[in-house]
Structure 1
């Protein structure tokens, strides 16, 4: 399998050692700026102040860029009047030591580091970047939004052009730059599969463990503990499969309960719960409403009052087709008041919204959405310990999983390693990202469905009749930006969705918003002409 490149901030002694060696190979042997030495290492004079963005293939450092915000810059010594070229109040940084090993000098490596570098600079609140650009790469730098300033500096053998890049120029770069980005690496705002954190991706490649080994069972127990700690659920069983499997397992457990049920639906995934229940031959009533129409607690309590034989409620937590988020606290209170079991589909909410499963009878989820890991693991939370039931198909029997430590059948240690790492990551920033995204979409005059009470994981945009969601989604895809629009239920509504369920960065959100605004302006001109 082709090994993916990893882009990160250097942090280990081994990475720093390879940086010194790469620095020597580039700026001594290839570009003669420094004298040769026997150690074939070159430690930059600003090393202790530098932050290094590196590209790695496995354990090998194949590329680097240094960034530094402390003055004086290296360029200050060559060009003493730099501040005359900057706006008053600017917060500059200097980018130096761009180097990629010859065998990896493809645009993909360069743009991978630039993407990571931009994310770092934005987090540090730098608003202008300075470089000494080599003449052979001036065209490339211009495509990124860099502008020359002042005269060339350096020696005849190593001549450089001072250049600067503002934040505004970076996010409003030319069409050529966006095409390059699209070829280099698409950015995903899909609800599944979701973009991975690099540590999650690396965890998947760990050595596979036998599902009968003590090491595997220890891994399984640790992942189950992380899940129950995150949700306050007493128990969590992990199956090889999807959210559809998890909901079929829930349906079989509901079937063992006495009485009838109530299923809530105001979107595509509520309708799918009704289909699960129908296929499982459950006896139930429904509250079905037009998509994105709220179902009030008064309506739910009214049905429970009218039908005392109802013993369970089944609903999605986040209605993925719209982002509508049911009030879990109010649902739990109503279930307790009426003495009914509450069952929940939390496939799209776990990991991005607050999901407190204390006092929830059963809940389903998955590894590959809000948790930010790979698809392939189904999760069923349960407040009791079910026993095996021979009337239930083996693969759907939650009691069988509970009695065998979630491993009655072949399991995947690799998927568990990845989900464990995903559960250990801090996802709190997703709330901030969603607030930013909603605000900027509204500033661009998009029709955004819902408000801040909706999910932090997905936002739905209703396109005007003059815009086609398919055409619009395809144009974004050509720019390397993947959004949800290809599902039939979205196309029927002429809707498009942006999901923040996986790894998210400010740079990627900025790139998305800029692309959407440019396409919208183009479409508006076409319609008005």
Structure 2
């Protein structure tokens, strides 16, 4: 049973406590006949108001628990009258009880994760010893994590227990052992990829990519290219699509090259890293243009754009990102398109982080760029340029970025990758397989953990940007998450400079992992903060 996406925490919600009582009944009435049955199928522990419960949850379901309590007398005091004689001098003990894991999760490492969090809690509370009544059939398991038996078996029938204890030193050693064990187990678990590229792909896409390469001049390849172009156009309601070996940067170079053919000035919008890159494209291509720039994440409104166009009637084209990947900000595409049509301005888009992530309609967009390795859920390596009109070759342009040459040659004027095209063709069959939750819902998971998240419901559901506090290094944090087999985006210069990390949801991902991801991010951030005093 998969346990990677479980959340481990101290119980705090009413529903969690109610599920604890139900699980308590299932384990210590139905499975281990320690208490009498009742009609409610519910067992409230007699020390419930003094217990701290460590629980494991799959979404809203409690699937495992263990409790700790330090107030004397312990339940073990009632079974062993001279309990203190077995404890060393200076002992500050707690009692660990009520270990229960639902049957379908017992072959996972839920137990070890519960105990890891329990160990951390006990050390924080300055307990230097724990006692437990270990179920006799699990004595071997308890010994493996450091518990030592003392005294004789207690209880009778199917409810026999062995008194055991664990010292502070054994706590600490066992914590290291747990981590080693869980690292070994994690090594064989599927990696959780929350990068904006490369993204996780469907297994059928993997198979397609691994197929035997064929010539880009073969009829089989040319037919597959036509099929890919047709699927792409249908997906975003575009008239034409050219598929090119390259990146999103190259796709935008194609757009810049075409913009040199439009008389008049242009306007480039920017409120983040990728808007700034469009400005850089325009400058390098020696385009004649204005810019409308804002601080990162600050809205660029339709009214502001209209006012700019109204006062600069020489503007004939407008170039913007649709999703500003650096923050997740979404431009109002419909509103901008209406304004462009009103003023006779051609609209061009960098849609690399929006196609395949949110609904996109390119029917009236002059030019738009996207890539295979983000929302289209395939491998990186193919650039896609959508165009509204037929385009003729232009010998004034460099051969490789002459979009007209691609149009008149069926998108294959030069060498192509049959493997990348085949993988993209397969990926386009699965674009409806992953339905993202609303942006507001996705961000709420992270905000519930007290994380500082950029944006609101108007931002893209495909990328969440988290601002870490100054005392946590985003590089160290990202490295540590990577060690846990969780891949976040953090290594780009613009993220490192701002101490940001990002979680992207553009590929074939299990969205049930969202709550788990948010909790792990918070736990790891807390762990780094706690380690600071020891490092000073």
Instruction: Give the TM-score of the pair, scaled to structure 2.
Output: 0.68
Task: Indicate conservation of the 8 Å contact 2:442/2:461, yes or no.
Answer: no
CA–CA distance in 2 between the matches of 1:300 and 1:80? 69
Alignment partner, residue 300 of structure 1: 305
C-alpha spacing 1:462/1:132, structure 2 compared with 1 (3 Å) = closer
1:97-112 to structure 2, matched below 5 A, reads none
1:114-193 to structure 2, matched below 5 A, reads 129-130=102-103, 142-143=111-112, 175-176=179-180, 178-184=182-188, 185-193=190-198
| 1:400 is aligned to 2:405 | yes
CA–CA distance in 1 between the matches of 2:212 and 2:389? 34
CA–CA distance in 2 between the matches of 1:314 and 1:437? 29
1:456-495 to structure 2, matched below 5 A, reads 456-495=461-500
CA–CA distance in 2 between the matches of 1:264 and 1:412? 34
C-alpha spacing 1:124/1:465, structure 2 compared with 1 (3 Å) = closer
Mark the runs of 5 or more structure 2 residues left unpaired by the alignment.
Answer: 3-25, 43-55, 65-100, 117-132, 139-157, 159-177
Q: Deviations over 1:3-49 (max 9, x none)?
A: xxxx99xxxxxxxxxxxxxxxxxxxxxxxxxxxxxxxxxxxxxxxxx
Deviation at 1:152, TM superposition (A): 5.9
CA–CA distance in 2 between the matches of 1:240 and 1:326? 28
Deviation at 1:431, TM superposition (A): 2.4
CA–CA distance in 1 between the matches of 2:476 and 2:248? 29
Provide the aligned length of Structure 1 versus Structure 2: 405
Aligned equivalent of 1:227, options 224, 227, 232: 232
Q: Deviations over 1:482-525 (max 9, x none)?
A: 11111111111111111111121145434422321211222344
CA–CA distance in 2 between the matches of 1:467 and 1:367? 34
Task: Indicate conservation of the 8 Å contact 1:449/1:459, yes or no.
Answer: yes
CA–CA distance in 2 between the matches of 1:332 and 1:126? 50
C-alpha spacing 1:227/1:84, structure 2 compared with 1 (3 Å) = farther
Q: Deviations over 1:184-203 (max 9, x none)?
A: 34321111111222121111
CA–CA distance in 1 between the matches of 2:435 and 2:292? 31
Task: Indicate conservation of the 8 Å contact 2:63/2:105, yes or no.
Answer: no
Q: Bigger shift: 300-309 or 514-523?
A: 514-523
1:130-529 to structure 2, matched below 5 A, reads 130=103, 142-143=111-112, 175-176=179-180, 178-184=182-188, 185-427=190-432, 429-432=434-437, 435-506=440-511, 508-526=513-531
Deviation at 1:122, TM superposition (A): 7.1
Task: Indicate conservation of the 8 Å contact 1:315/1:345, yes or no.
Answer: yes
**Could you say what secondary structure the match of 1:344 adopts?**
strand
**Could you say what secondary structure the match of 1:417 adopts?**
helix
**Could you say what secondary structure the match of 2:437 adopts?**
helix
Q: Deviations over 1:315-369 (max 9, x none)?
A: 0001111111101110111111111100000011111112111210000000001
CA–CA distance in 2 between the matches of 1:144 and 1:343? 51
Deviation at 1:149, TM superposition (A): 10
CA–CA distance in 2 between the matches of 1:312 and 1:83? 74
CA–CA distance in 1 between the matches of 2:289 and 2:431? 39
Q: Deviations over 1:90-146 (max 9, x none)?
A: 9xxxxxxxxxxxxxxxxxxxxxxxxxxx99x9799999752597xxx89x6743669
CA–CA distance in 2 between the matches of 1:224 and 1:266? 32
Q: Bigger shift: 499-508 or 215-224?
A: 499-508
**Could you say what secondary structure the match of 2:527 adopts?**
helix
Task: Indicate conservation of the 8 Å contact 2:449/2:519, yes or no.
Answer: no
Task: Indicate conservation of the 8 Å contact 1:144/1:177, yes or no.
Answer: no
Q: Deviations over 1:357-401 (max 9, x none)?
A: 121000000000111110010000000110111111111000000
C-alpha spacing 1:125/1:411, structure 2 compared with 1 (3 Å) = farther
C-alpha spacing 1:228/1:146, structure 2 compared with 1 (3 Å) = farther
Task: Indicate conservation of the 8 Å contact 2:205/2:424, yes or no.
Answer: yes
CA–CA distance in 1 between the matches of 2:509 and 2:447? 20
- How well do the aligned residues superpose, as a CA RMSD in angstroms? 3.6
C-alpha spacing 1:453/1:282, structure 2 compared with 1 (3 Å) = same
Instruction: Give the TM-score of the pair, scaled to structure 1.
Output: 0.69
Deviation at 1:403, TM superposition (A): 0.2
**Could you say what secondary structure the match of 2:197 adopts?**
coil
CA–CA distance in 2 between the matches of 1:425 and 1:392? 36
C-alpha spacing 1:472/1:124, structure 2 compared with 1 (3 Å) = closer
Q: Deviations over 1:418-458 (max 9, x none)?
A: 11221111446442175543112101111100011111110
